[in-house]
């Protein structure tokens, strides 16, 4: 079976000064081609670490990472750059838009750094995404002139710009009120489902998990299908 | 790269300090170059204007006009050397000229000649001169009669010629006998007999350097023959001036390299977060570095334009006795030098850009 994302027994250990932090242990997870998986867990449980490894931003200490059937575990930094450019869409926890570019230009950056599209085609896609995200009237605004929810939506647009195989969203709603958070989650679902893209959405807000096809819990670096306090490990546990 | 250029347009203020400093450096470079050109061109005009292949000095004159003497007999020897086609005598006397209606005498070089230099008409009648335009600043006018040296030899100005000055003094191009009179009356110790010149201008065939060697050999070592380029650099102080100014200009360019290097390294440090995010979404180090280089080049190009314009404006305020001469070619060389400095300076940032880890995007906020 072809999975958009396939983590096999992934382990991540951070070296912090003298000691070590085990941020992920034996994480095994498969995300189907157009599946949306919510990753739920308390702060410091390893959610961002897992996303970063899945997206080729961090190297796993052990285990295999396959995206679209391709193993990226041993890839060079250059190969990973290309992989991220072509296969992955990130929405970072801190949003991280380019501050001196307008909403529209923040989307266009993706194509400017080597995307498939050029010029008019690229602008057309950016405009369509902004339209879908309800940002058409904000296209010319700088991030500093946008609200938190609007910035979040621009970041989603940027993540979808390269038609990724896998969208990784880190805490899209943590800085938003429930209503805006719900809106953003709805949008992510519509956009991702409409394109047949797989997505992993990290959150620590249980209310947001209803937009996902499946919810996984993570606690202290250990994945399970049910909360850590639950009776037994789920299908994702190694 | 597009992103980098947009940043320049959106946030010009960030680059203001670097642009300002580079502008001042450019102004300084244009001035230094202008002084070098002013000194060099103003010192060497009479030699550069020579329409000859080789200048022949007497041996042991150490290639100085004032010490050199070529009599008729030595001249005949030169003329017998194969390859020599035409010779013309040259003599120079540096004297003060009394200008009618002016308190201050003007420094002038009286040059007796037979072969007309480029831009100078054929030899005028005795007692008359083609004057270098430089003398206009000393109050000299066409039609005036100047009184040369302590003996007050009269010379009437027939018209102007351009760019023929000698050691920063305007040249009066005269008949050989007029020069001999001025020379003998103002420097009795260095009087010259009829038929004697200081230097011979020689036209001939073939490579001037070969011709010069042939003349030296053909005169049995009694002459020192120089190509025009060699003669220019044998003028007192010319080579030293060039070395000193080239050194200062080089050091100033080095400062430009340091300014660009330091500024963009600091900017790169400040942009660690931004570059991390761009790398995270797939930008390569190469693309980001190209952006840094593009910014350095644009900032420098703007600074070069501003700095050159500023130098041109400031030059208007420089008193005429300062030998400042702004040449378009020098401005071009300065611009190229500055752009090269920008390229070299921005290379310092390369390592910083390469080392930025895309994983910094995970946590950093904008
Ligand atoms: N670069 C690092 N060096 C050392 N330890 C790290 C590093 N990054 C994360 N950690 C540690 O690894 C663990 C997991 O971190 P991670 O950022 O994945 O958590 P998280 O689930 O995303 O938390 P949050 O909900 O607060 O964002 C934490 O204990 C954290 O302190
Ligand atoms: Mg996190």
Residue nearest to atom 31 of ligand 1 (CA): A44
B197 strand-pairing partners: B70
* Residues counted in chain B: 366
Q: Is the CB–ligand 1 distance for residue A152 below 6 Å?
A: no
Q: How far is B282 from chain A (nearest CA, A)?
A: 4
Residue nearest to atom 27 of ligand 1 (CA): A43
3-state DSSP assignment of residue B79: helix
B341 and B253 in contact (C-beta within 8 Å)?
yes
Interior/surface letters A91-124, b for 16+ CB within 10 angstroms, e for the rest: bbbbbbbbebbbbbbbbbbbbbbebebeeeebee
The more confident residue out of B173 and A230 is B173
B281–A84: do the CB atoms touch at under 8 Å? yes
The ipTM (two decimal places) reads 0.89
Q: Closest ligand 1 atom to the C-alpha of A49?
A: 18
**Cα gap B216→B218, rounded to integer Å:** 6
The reply to whether residue A113 touches residue B363, judged by beta carbons under 8 angstroms, is no
* Residue B298, burial from CB neighbour count under 10 angstroms (0-12, 13-18, 19+): middle
Ligand 1 proximity of A29 Cβ (cutoff 6 Å)? no
Chain A residue with minimal CA distance to B357? A57
Identify the residue whose C-alpha is closest to ligand 1 atom 16. Answer: A46
Whether residue B170 contacts residue B129, with contact meaning beta carbons closer than 8 Å, is answered with: no
Q: Ligand 1, closest atom to CA A204?
A: 25
> Mean pLDDT lowest for which of A107-111, A211-215, B189-193?
B189-193
Q: Which ligand is nearest to the CA of A43?
A: 1
- Ligand 1 atom closest to the Cα of residue A42 is 25
Using one digit for the tens of pLDDT, what is the confidence trace for A213-232? 999 999 999 998 877 654 44
* Residue A46 Cβ < 6 Å to ligand 1: yes
CB B322 within 8 A of CB B34: no
List all residues 6 or more positions away from A188 whose beta carbon is below 8 Å from its beta carbon: A36, A156, A167, A169, A172, A199, A201, A211
| Cα–Cα distance, A75 to A53 (Å, whole number) | 12
Calculate mean pLDDT across residues B264-270: 92
Cβ-based contacts under 8 A for chains A and B? 89
- Dist. CA A11–CA A128, nearest whole Å: 39
- Is B280 within 8 Å of A84 when comparing Cβ atoms? yes
pLDDT bracket for residue A233 (50, 70, 90): very low
Numbers of helices and strands, H then E, in chain B: 11, 9
Cα gap A175→B236, rounded to integer Å: 78
DSSP secondary structure code for residue A137 in this structure: G
Confidence of residue A235 (pLDDT cuts 50, 70, 90): very low
Identify which of B313, B292, B307 has the alpha carbon closest to the alpha carbon of residue B338: B307
- Tell me, using a 6 A CB cutoff, whether residue A102 lines ligand 1: no
- Give the C-alpha separation, B351 to B76, whole Å: 69
Contacts of A110 in chain B (CB under 8 A): 281-282
Alpha-carbon span A90 to B227, nearest angstrom: 71
Phi and psi at B70, nearest 5°, equal -125, 115
Closest Cα in chain B, distance from residue A230 (Å): 30
What is the pTM (predicted TM-score) of this model?
0.84
Query: What's the rounded mean pLDDT across residues A197-207?
Result: 89
Q: What integer pLDDT is reported at residue B317 of this predicted model?
A: 93
Helical segments of A41-177, H only: 47-54, 77-87, 103-112, 119-132, 148-160
- For residue B14, the surrounding DSSP H or E stretch is none
- Give strand pairing partners of B86: B203
Residue nearest atom 14 of ligand 1, based on CA coordinates: A46
Q: Is any Cβ of chain B less than 8 angstroms from the Cβ of A100? A: yes
Q: A109 near B278, Cβ under 8 Å?
A: yes
pLDDT tens-digit profile of B302-322? 999 999 999 999 999 998 888
Residues in contact with B7: Cβ distance below 8 Å, sequence separation at least 6, in sequence order: A100, B14, B295
Asked if B363's CB is within 8 angstroms of A112's CB, the reply is: no
Tell me which residue of B44, B42, B60, B53 sits closest to B88, measured CA to CA.
B53
Cα gap A223→A233, rounded to integer Å: 8
Atom index in ligand 1 nearest the CA of residue A221 equals: 14
Residues counted in chain A: 238
Which residues lie closer than 8 Å to B293 by C-beta, 6 or more apart?
B342, B343, B346
Which residue ranges form the domains of chain A, and what is each CATH number? 32-59+75-236 (3.40.50.300)
Q: What's the rounded mean pLDDT across residues A47-54?
A: 93
Angle between helices B328-355 and B285-316 (to 10 degrees): 150
How far CA B215 is from CA of A11, A118, B81, B115, in Å, comes to 88, 70, 6, 18
Q: Distance, CA B249 to ligand 2 centroid (Å)?
A: 54
pLDDT band at B363 (very low <50, low <70, confident <90, very high): low
Give the mean pLDDT of chain B: 93
For ligand 1, the distance from its centroid to the CA atom of residue A44, given in whole angstroms, is 5
Contact A108, B3 (CB under 8 A): no
Q: Give the tens place of pLDDT for each residue, A115-169.
A: 777 888 999 999 999 998 899 999 999 999 999 889 989 999 999 999 999 999 9
Cα four-point dihedral sign B216, B219, B221, B224: negative
CB contact under 8 Å between A92 and B277, yes or no, is yes
CA distance B190 to B251: 43
Q: Residue A238 pLDDT more than 50?
A: no
Which chain A residues in 146-175 lie under 8 Å from chain B, judged by CB atoms? Answer: 158, 162, 170
The HSE-up count of residue B166 (CA atoms within 13 Å, CB side) is 24
Q: Which residue of A has its CA nearest to B355?
A: A77
Protein residue whose Cα sits closest to atom 3 of ligand 1: A14
Q: Which chain B residue lies closest to A86 (C-alpha atoms)? A: B282
- Give the least confident one: B55-64, B138-147, B331-340: B55-64
């Amino acid at each position: 079976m072809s999975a958009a994302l396939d983590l096999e027994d992934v382990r991540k250990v951070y070296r912090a000064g003298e000691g070590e932090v085990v941020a992920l242990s034996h994480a095994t997870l498969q995300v189907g081609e157009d599946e949306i998986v919510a990753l739920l867990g308390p702060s410091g449980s390893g959610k961002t670490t897992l996303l970063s490894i899945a997206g080729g931003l961090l190297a796993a200490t052990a285990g295999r990472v396959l995206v679209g059937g391709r193993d990226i575990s041993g890839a060079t930094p250059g190969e990973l750059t290309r992989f991220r450019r072509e296969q992955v869409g990130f929405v970072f926890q801190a949003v991280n838009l380019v501050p001196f570019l307008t909403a529209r230009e923040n989307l266009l950056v993706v194509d400017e750094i080597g995307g498939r599209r050029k010029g008019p085609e690229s602008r057309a896609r950016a405009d369509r995404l902004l339209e879908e995200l309800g940002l058409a009237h904000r296209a010319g605004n700088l991030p500093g002139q946008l609200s938190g929810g609007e910035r979040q939506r621009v970041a989603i647009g940027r993540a979808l710009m390269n038609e990724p195989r896998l969208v990784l969203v880190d805490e899209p709603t943590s800085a938003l009120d429930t209503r805006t958070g719900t809106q953003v989650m709805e949008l992510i679902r519509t956009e991702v489902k409409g394109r047949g893209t797989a997505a992993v959405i990290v959150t620590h807000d249980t209310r947001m998990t209803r937009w996902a096809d499946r919810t996984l819990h993570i606690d202290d670096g250990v994945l399970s299908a049910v909360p850590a306090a639950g009776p037994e490990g789920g299908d994702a546990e190694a | 790269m597009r992103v980098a250029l947009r940043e320049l347009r959106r946030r010009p203020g960030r680059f203001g300090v670097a642009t300002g400093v580079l502008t001042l450096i450019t102004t300084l470079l244009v001035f230094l170059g202008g002084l070098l050109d002013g000194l060099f061109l103003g010192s060497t005009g009479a030699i550069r204007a020579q329409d000859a292949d080789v200048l022949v000095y007497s041996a042991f004159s150490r290639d100085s006009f004032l010490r050199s003497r070529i009599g008729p007999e030595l001249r005949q020897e030169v003329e017998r050397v194969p390859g020599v086609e035409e010779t013309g005598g040259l003599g120079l006397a540096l004297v003060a000229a009394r200008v009618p209606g002016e308190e201050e005498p003007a420094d002038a070089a009286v040059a007796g000649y037979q072969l007309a230099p480029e831009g100078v008409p054929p030899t005028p009648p005795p007692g008359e001169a083609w004057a270098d335009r430089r003398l206009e600043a000393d109050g000299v006018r066409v039609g005036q009669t100047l009184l040369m040296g302590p003996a007050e030899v009269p010379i009437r100005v027939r018209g102007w010629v351009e760019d023929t000055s000698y050691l920063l003094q305007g040249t009066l191009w005269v008949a050989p006998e007029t020069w001999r009179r001025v020379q003998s009356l103002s420097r009795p110790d260095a009087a010259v007999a009829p038929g004697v010149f200081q230097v011979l201008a020689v036209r001939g065939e073939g490579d001037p350097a070969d011709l010069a060697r042939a003349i030296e050999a053909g005169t049995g070592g009694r002459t020192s023959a120089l190509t025009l380029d060699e003669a220019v650099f044998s003028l007192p102080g010319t080579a030293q001036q060039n070395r000193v100014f080239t050194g200062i200009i080089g050091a100033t360019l080095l400062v430009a390299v340091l300014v660009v290097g330091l500024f963009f390294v600091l900017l790169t440090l400040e942009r660690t977060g931004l570059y991390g995010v761009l790398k995270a979404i797939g930008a390569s180090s190469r693309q980001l570095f190209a952006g840094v280089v593009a910014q350095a080049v644009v900032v420098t190009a703007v600074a070069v334009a501003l700095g050159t314009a500023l130098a041109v404006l400031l030059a208007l305020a420089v008193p005429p006795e300062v030998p400042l001469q702004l040449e378009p070619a020098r401005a071009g060389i300065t611009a190229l030098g500055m752009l090269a400095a920008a390229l070299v300076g921005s290379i310092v940032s390369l390592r910083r850009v390469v080392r930025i880890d895309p994983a910094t995007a995970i946590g950093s906020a904008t």
